[in-house]
Amino acid sequence: MRIALAADHAGYEMSAAVDYPDYAEAVAVVLREGQVERGVIVCGSGAGVSIAANKFPGIRAAVCHDCYTAHQAVEHDDMNVLCLGSRVIGARLAHEIVRAFLAAKFTGEERHLRRLAKVHDFEARFSGRL
């Protein structure tokens, strides 16, 4: 599996300040182009990169600070971008969460497909509208 990884300054010690939307865009673009299957983005809380990444059609990003949410979001919601908060969780837990995310597979169950189709419909109807 090919994975795109990105982080703003909160994801790296001693890094110069950068804007998280730039990193969310970089991951979203390569994912949408099919260069990678999933993405992991880190910022201080995970919220900013999640909000930015979810502006791109086809991106299903979520903040996960525990292993259950990371695998469940893939299995039920077909999450393709994991967002982590470096100021919320430590490195050891982050590694466990990434492992859970990468090991998980979308179930494809009818109820999940039905719900995901509704989300895709929202995206189609409201894409580009403010």
- Are the C-beta atoms of 7 and 106 separated by less than 8 Å? no
15-23: average pLDDT: 78
Residue 118 Cα to chain centre, angstroms: 19
Is 64 one of the catalytic residues? no
Domain ranges for the chain, please list them: 3-126
Percent residues over pLDDT 70 in the chain: 90
Asked about 43 being catalytic, the answer comes back as yes
Please report the pLDDT score of residue 107 as a whole number: 98
Question: From the candidates 43, 64, 71, 83, which is the catalytic residue?
Answer: 43
pLDDT at 8 over 80: no
- The number of C-alpha atoms within 13 Å of 16 and in the hemisphere containing its C-beta is 1
Higher pLDDT, 14 or 109: 109
Residue of 9, 65, 76, 112 marked catalytic: 76
Give residue 14's pLDDT band: very low, low, confident or very high (50, 70, 90): very low
3-126 maps to CATH 3.40.50.1110: no
What span, in angstroms and rounded, lies between the C-alpha atoms of 77 and 96?
20
Summarised one tens digit per residue, pLDDT across range 26-74 is 999 999 999 999 999 999 999 999 999 999 999 999 999 999 999 999 9
Q: What separation, in Å, do the N-terminal and C-terminal C-alpha atoms of the chain show?
A: 35
Q: Which pLDDT score is estimated for 19?
A: 84
